[in-house]
Amino acid sequence: MCVSTKPKVLVFGSISVDNIWELSRIPRDHEKIDAKAMYTVVGGSGANTASWLSNFGHDVTLIGAVGDDVDSKWIISELESQKIKAKSIKRIKGKTANHAISLISGSTKRIIRQRNIDMKNISWGISELKTLINKVDHVHISSIESKTSEDISNIARSLNKSISIELNGHKMSAQRKNADVLFCNSIELKTIFNISISKLSSAGLAKMIPGFNGNLVVTNGANSVVAVTPHFKITEKVKKWGKIKDRTGAGDSFDAGFLSSWLTNSPENVSKAIKVGMATSASCVMNFGGQAK
Ligand SMILES: Nc1ncnc2c1ncn2[C@@H]1O[C@H](COP(=O)(O)OP(=O)(O)OP(=O)(O)O)[C@@H](O)[C@H]1O
Ligand SMILES: [Mg+2]
């Protein structure tokens, strides 16, 4: 039996069914058009990052929530088929899985979400979290600002595990102080911290990650990625790899690629981690859906 020697990762984040409709254009009011194709895939930022980390050979445990309907059972089987440990995903009685519909036409994208399960209302016991976190090397919290994500970040810090946090539009004020790596995009940087990407500096890092020597990694779409560590700032340009089909999961897959490199190689090698992150998100955006193929 082949046992992975790569760092073990616990991911906490959202899980959904994504229905992706590829269209020649977005229909007008009352207009009917034929879709070019439709893809039904597992989505949600937690499930996407878990998928890419597992694809890199990490032992991945995912925590999140689904319902008890057919779609939820399908999600679990899809995750398990990717060797993601799904036992601690809560199955909420009487609920259907969260869904998202993406209408995609070239670079235009419209998303409709239906959230039956609000992760803010779902809690895990402290001792259950401690047991799960004790078994891994790294904890990644993806975009859920809740008491549980706060508990996870505090427990992981107390157990001396490394921690990454993806903001995805949330402030994560209570969780951020524990981050070794904080991920956001340039729009979130502006709206949450009122800082533009060009003004980032090591001196300003304490505002984003108070009280800890963490690293900030800011993606900026097809342009660049900027990382700020307590000692230096680094900017890498995004390469043009090929035709973009669907940007779903661009940030989630970037996080997975960055983390896989950062955890496996020397953590000081931020430049290499950014490059692996960019290559991972390039593979993601050249296909439909946010999961690893
Ligand atoms: N058009 C593109 N061409 C090539 N790479 C891209 C493109 N768009 C995004 N990427 C890659 O994906 C990474 C993350 O993209 P972006 O900054 O758009 O994240 P995001 O807005 O947080 O994404 P998400 O919607 O998944 O949260 C970028 O750093 C880049 O490497
Ligand atoms: Mg994002």
Q: d(Cα 85, Cα 15) in Å, to the nearest integer?
A: 14
The domain that holds 130 is classified in CATH as 3.40.1190.20
For the entire predicted model, the pTM comes to 0.96
Q: d(Cα 267, Cα 257) in Å, to the nearest integer?
A: 13
User: What's the pLDDT score for residue 193?
Assistant: 94
- Point out the ligand nearest to the CA of residue 170: 2
Instruction: Using DSSP, state whether 50 is helix, strand or coil.
Output: helix
Range of the domain at 33: 9-285
Does any ligand 1 atom lie closer than 6 A to the CB of residue 289?
no
Residues 42 and 51 sit within 8 Å (Cβ to Cβ)? yes
Query: How many CA atoms are closer than 13 Å to the CA of 9, on its beta-carbon side?
Result: 35
Does any ligand 1 atom lie closer than 6 A to the CB of residue 220?
yes
Between the CA of 221 and the centroid of ligand 1 the distance, in Å, is 4
Is residue 3 in a domain?
A: no
Q: Which of 70, 49, 45, 71 is nearest to 58 (CA)?
A: 49
Q: Whose CA is nearest to atom 31 of ligand 1?
A: 278
User: What's the pLDDT score for residue 163?
Assistant: 97
User: What's the pLDDT score for residue 184?
Assistant: 97
Q: Whose CA is nearest to atom 12 of ligand 1?
A: 250
Q: What is the largest CA-CA distance in the chain?
A: 57
User: What's the pLDDT score for residue 4?
Assistant: 60
Query: How many CA atoms are closer than 13 Å to the CA of 14, on its beta-carbon side?
Result: 29
Does any ligand 1 atom lie closer than 6 A to the CB of residue 45?
no
Between the CA of 125 and the centroid of ligand 1 the distance, in Å, is 35
Between the CA of 168 and the centroid of ligand 2 the distance, in Å, is 5
Give me the number of domains the chain comprises: 1
Is residue 89 in a domain?
A: yes
Q: Which of 219, 244, 255, 288 to mutate to test the pocket of ligand 1 (most atoms within 8 A of CB)?
A: 219
Q: d(Cα 139, Cα 254) in Å, to the nearest integer?
A: 16
- Point out the ligand nearest to the CA of residue 249: 1
Is residue 168 in a domain?
A: yes
Give Cβ neighbours of residue 16 (< 8 Å, ≥ 6 apart): 42, 43, 44, 47, 75, 97, 98, 99, 100, 113
Q: Which residues pair with 99 in a beta bridge?
A: 17, 114
User: What's the pLDDT score for residue 122?
Assistant: 93
Is residue 62 in a domain?
A: yes
- Point out the ligand nearest to the CA of residue 283: 1
Q: d(Cα 8, Cα 133) in Å, to the nearest integer?
A: 10
Does any ligand 1 atom lie closer than 6 A to the CB of residue 185?
yes
What does pLDDT average to in each consecutive run of 10 residues of the chain (293 residues)?
80 97 95 96 98 98 98 98 98 97 92 94 95 98 94 97 96 94 96 94 87 89 94 93 90 98 88 96 95 92
| φ, ψ of residue 91 in degrees (nearest 5) | -105, 105
Is residue 292 in a domain?
A: no
Q: Which of 52, 170, 185, 291 to mutate to test the pocket of ligand 1 (most atoms within 8 A of CB)?
A: 185
Is residue 165 in a domain?
A: yes
Is residue 1 in a domain?
A: no
Does any ligand 1 atom lie closer than 6 A to the CB of residue 281?
yes
Is residue 188 in a domain?
A: yes
